[in-house]
């Protein structure tokens, strides 16, 4: 796991060997301690170089060890790094590929750092709910100053070798063989004094108005952290570096780390890290899997309908280097879309530093233009009749074997597939707005969808930088299906006495990016109104009394319909659940009108307002959503809880430090979730979504196993169906 050799006569070369990223697992740490000792005690060795095999310095700690006691077995990282720093021979880190987390902390313990020009460095611990606790929070500010260290440590962002050189984090950048450059460098500094090279001896570079700086950063971090504690602990640790001697700073780093390590947040964030990998290993109920299904290359794709979604999808496809045919039938939309796509591509190129992808797109107002493409993504209005017609046309126009995908948010993918000659070549590709930015892609397969197509689309998602999750076909798929009971509960709570602000505040304090009503204002109340009207659910004027709030025997809130009747569509009309300065403005302010509107509504429906607590908001909205999640699992729509959690974290603003709805249910305790659902279901017999799902009962009866063991229970439940 660690190789040692003597090179160029007097340089001890230590190579970390632990694929894929040379993580600092217990054996590697053993190897480093042993080989450093060997090099230091060999009189022929005058200096040392540490590098990693296969063009990668070190990806940091082995996260799997966090979950076990295994990391306690090997030599601890802190004394290991201290002994390197204390060495009386110069130690040079040769950074190829990357030095992340513990890997960068190891490099900071070395006396010199040489990085390849393409290498990146960073301290991403905060993204796992931790802080750089092997001296990283104490050494980095001493080396590059407090503001730059705060920026790196509180965000976990990776920086390029060029930026690292500018900050003084590395001493030299090599364009070619970094290890050769480091060996040459090590020879040149052999025998030199190391007093000025041991970072732990440095004072942090002074900062004017330090208190004000930390106050300002802390405020910013608190706002963006949305309840996550690790970024706050990171600021506190850097403050310790700036104000305390090194040893006391290390003590503070240790205390803060202990708090984080035992917090549920670190567990949730580490779960997300692994869950993301789990969803990549997709499977279908037919038994088809990621490792046995092979896709085929896509060279040319088409997008049909260049509205909000089609524009973003066109950009996302073009940015992967594909040729894209973009089709829009309405003249006005066609002209606007061309301009909008071009602007989006320019902004994207500026952000990423990658070349513009304009030349990859051809525009057309005719569907005939897609005859020779390999894959089509349909993004016309959410109207089954229209979509069916488009799929019939596509099936007639496209060459045989063309993959046909729909970006529908809720409609039946199988029904669309049945309009084509090759229904096995149809899937849903459910993007999220804005489609070129949002990370999530729900890949919706039907019973007839071919595994080859799922493989193609999952791969395409990866190329677009998406986190793709393969799910089964049902109304709303996973994300929107679970969102419905959550939203319904928010409406019912309004009827019962809450305000939009009260509900949104409770959800935002929980960590959601936006509360349910702010999201509704953003996406437009008219979208759901149109669907409800088509479904025959809307009664003009909303009616009165209890019967007006029941549809098909189930509780229904006409509040959203009444808002739409008043022209309150949300941000786009400047009025919705909140008021806005002008149409299109985003700054939501409570609207006193809502108060009288709700009072009048309650009076008309014989409802008496009561005090609603934050706890009730969270329990009713979140547990209703979680309950639907259990149904999704029971129905086999999602392969496992990880799929649901990743969909919610990447597509619905669920706070990552709470791991996703199913992980959160497990953290709260499944028996508690069950008990609260039973309580609310009993109080509201007309809300079947609050009736606990049988899978939840089965899990509780099986002793509430941890999330990663749910699949076994689900398998048993499904085999009994």
Cα–Cα distance for residue pair 129/125, rounded to 1 Å: 7
Kindly report the number of other CB atoms within 10 A of residue 83's CB atom: 16
Nearest distance in Å: CB 624, ligand NAD: 22
Q: How long, in residues, is the chain?
A: 721
Nearest distance in Å: CB 477, ligand NAD: 10
Judged by CB under 6 A, which stretch of 197-205, 379-387, 581-589, 675-683 contacts ligand NAD? 379-387
| SS3 category, 363 | strand
**Taking CB under 6 A as the rule, which mask of x and - marks residues 431-460 in contact with ligand NAD?**
xxx---------------------------
| Radius of gyration of the chain measured on its C-alpha atoms | 29
* Given the residues 105, 328, 442, 619, the one annotated as active site: 105
H helix count then E strand count, the chain: 29, 19
Judged by CB under 6 A, which stretch of 261-269, 282-290, 407-415, 709-717 contacts ligand NAD? 407-415
The smaller minimum CB distance to ligand NAD, of residues 56 and 469, is found at 469
State how beta strands 375-378 and 467-472 pair: unpaired
The smaller minimum CB distance to ligand NAD, of residues 14 and 417, is found at 417
Count the site residues for ligand NAD by CB under 6 A.
25
Residues from 306 through 345 that contact ligand NAD (CB under 6 A): 306-310, 327-330, 333
Nearest Cα to Cα of residue 566 among 575, 557, 558, 553? 575
The smaller minimum CB distance to ligand NAD, of residues 378 and 488, is found at 378
Distances (CA, A) of 369 to 321, 389, 623: 19, 17, 48
The smaller minimum CB distance to ligand NAD, of residues 502 and 647, is found at 647
Nearest distance in Å: CB 51, ligand NAD: 46
Query: Does 423 participate in binding ligand NAD (rule CB under 6 A)?
Result: no
Residues from 518 through 547 that contact ligand NAD (CB under 6 A): 523
Phi, psi angle pair for 427, to nearest 5°: -140, 170
Please enumerate in sequence order all residues whose Cβ is within 8 A of that of 479, keeping only pairs 6 or more positions apart, or say none. 430, 440, 442, 647, 648, 651, 652
Kindly report the number of other CB atoms within 10 A of residue 686's CB atom: 13
Q: State the burial class of residue 535 (Cβ atoms within 10 Å of its Cβ: 0-12, 13-18, 19+).
A: exposed
Tokens of 520: 């509704």
* Given the residues 96, 125, 253, 628, the one annotated as active site: 125
The smaller minimum CB distance to ligand NAD, of residues 16 and 303, is found at 303
In the sheet with 467-472, reading across from the earlier edge strand, the strands are 361-364, 323-327, 300-304, 375-378, 403-406, 426-431, 440-445, 467-472
Cα–Cα distance for residue pair 600/532, rounded to 1 Å: 23
Nearest distance in Å: CB 669, ligand NAD: 34
Q: State the burial class of residue 33 (Cβ atoms within 10 Å of its Cβ: 0-12, 13-18, 19+).
A: middle
Nearest distance in Å: CB 129, ligand NAD: 30
| SS3 category, 612 | coil
- 378 has catalytic annotation: no
Nearest distance in Å: CB 461, ligand NAD: 14
Judged by CB under 6 A, which stretch of 206-214, 375-383, 491-499, 602-610 contacts ligand NAD? 375-383
- 125 has catalytic annotation: yes
Residues from 272 through 311 that contact ligand NAD (CB under 6 A): 304-310
The smaller minimum CB distance to ligand NAD, of residues 191 and 584, is found at 584
The smaller minimum CB distance to ligand NAD, of residues 173 and 309, is found at 309
Residues making contact with ligand NAD (CB under 6 A) = 304-310, 327-330, 333, 379-382, 386, 390, 407-409, 431-433, 523
Active site residues: 105, 125
């Amino acid at each position: 796991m660690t190789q040692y050799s003597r090179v160029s006569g007097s340089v001890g070369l230590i190579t970390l060997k632990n694929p894929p990223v040379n993580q600092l697992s217990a054996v590697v740490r053993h190897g480093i301690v042993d080989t450093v000792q060997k090099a230091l005690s060999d009189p022929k060795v005058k200096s040392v170089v540490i590098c990693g095999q296969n063009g990668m310095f070190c990806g940091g700690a082995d996260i799997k060890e966090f979950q076990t006691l295994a990391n306690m077995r090997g030599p601890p990282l802190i004394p290991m790094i201290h002994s390197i720093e204390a060495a009386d021979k110069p130690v040079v880190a040769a950074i190829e590929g990357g030095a992340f987390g513990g890997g960068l902390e190891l490099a900071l313990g070395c006396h010199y750092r040489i990085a390849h020009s393409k290498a990146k460095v960073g301290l991403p611990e905060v993204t796992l709910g931790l802080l750089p606790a092997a001296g990283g929070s104490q050494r980095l500010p001493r080396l590059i100053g407090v503001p730059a260290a705060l920026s790196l440590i509180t965000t976990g962002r990776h920086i390029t070798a060029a930026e690292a050189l500018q900050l003084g984090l590395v001493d030299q950048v090599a364009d070619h063989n970094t290890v050769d450059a480091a060996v040459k460098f090590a020879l040149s500094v052999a025998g030199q004094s190391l007093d000025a090279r041991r970072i732990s001896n440095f004072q942090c570079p002074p900062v004017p108005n330090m208190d004000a700086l930390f106050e300002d950063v802390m405020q910013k971090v608190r706002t963006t952290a949305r309840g996550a504690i690790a970024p706050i602990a990171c600021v506190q640790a850097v403050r310790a570096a700036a104000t305390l001697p090194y040893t006391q700073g290390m003590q503070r780093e240790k205390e803060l780390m202990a708090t984080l390590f035992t917090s549920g947040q670190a567990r949730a964030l580490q779960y997300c890290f692994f869950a993301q990998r789990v969803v990549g290993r997709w499977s279908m109920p037919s038994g088809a899997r990621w490792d046995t299904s092979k896709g085929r290359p896509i060279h040319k794709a088409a997008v049909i309908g260049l509205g909000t979604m089609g524009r973003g999808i066109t950009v996302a496809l073009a940015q992967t280097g594909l040729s894209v045919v973009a089709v829009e039938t309405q003249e006005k939309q066609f002209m606007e879309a061309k301009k909008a796509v071009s602007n989006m591509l320019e902004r994207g190129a500026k952000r990423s530093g990658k070349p513009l992808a304009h030349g990859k797109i051809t525009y057309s107002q005719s569907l005939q233009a897609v005859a020779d493409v390999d894959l089509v993504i349909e993004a016309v209005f959410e109207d089954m009749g229209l979509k069916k017609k488009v799929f019939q046309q596509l099936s007639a126009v496209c060459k045989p074997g063309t993959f046909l995908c729909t970006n529908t948010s809720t409609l039946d993918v199988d029904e669309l597939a049945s309009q084509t000659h090759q229904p096995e070549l149809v899937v849903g590709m459910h993007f999220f707005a804005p489609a070129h930015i949002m990370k999530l892609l729900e890949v919706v397969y039907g019973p007839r969808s071919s595994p080859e197509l799922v493989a193609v689309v999952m791969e395409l998602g990866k190329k677009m930088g998406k986190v793709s999750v393969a799910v089964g076909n049902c109304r709303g798929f996973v994300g929107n299906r679970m969102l419905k009971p959550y939203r319904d509960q928010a409406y019912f709570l309004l009827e019962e006495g809450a305000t939009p602000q009260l509900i949104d505040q409770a959800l935002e304090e929980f960590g959601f990016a936006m509360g349910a009503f702010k999201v509704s204002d953003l996406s437009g109340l008219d979208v759901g109104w149109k669907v409800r009207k088509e479904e025959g659910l809307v009664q003009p004027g909303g009616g009165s009394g209890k019967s007006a709030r029941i549809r098909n025997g189930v509780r229904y809130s006409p509040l959203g319909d009444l808002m739409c009747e008043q022209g309150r569509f949300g941000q786009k009309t400047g009025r919705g659940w909140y008021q806005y300065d002008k149409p299109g403005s985003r700054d939501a302010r409570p609207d006193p009108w809502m108060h009288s509107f709700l009072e009048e509504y309650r009076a008309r429906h014989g409802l008496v307002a009561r005090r609603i607590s934050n706890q009730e908001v969270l329990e009713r909205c979140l547990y209703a959503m979680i309950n639907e999640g259990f149904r999704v699992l029971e129905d086999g729509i999602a392969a496992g809880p990880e799929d649901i959690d990743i969909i919610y974290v990447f597509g619905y603003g669920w706070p990552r430090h709470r791991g996703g709805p199913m992980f959160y249910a497990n953290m709260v305790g499944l028996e508690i979730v069950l008990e609260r659902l039973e309580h609310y279901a009993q109080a509201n017999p007309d809300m079947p979504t609050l009736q606990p799902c049988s899978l939840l009962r089965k899990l509780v009866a099986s002793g509430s196993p941890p999330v990663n063991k749910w699949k076994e229970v689900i398998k048993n439940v499904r085999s009994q169906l």
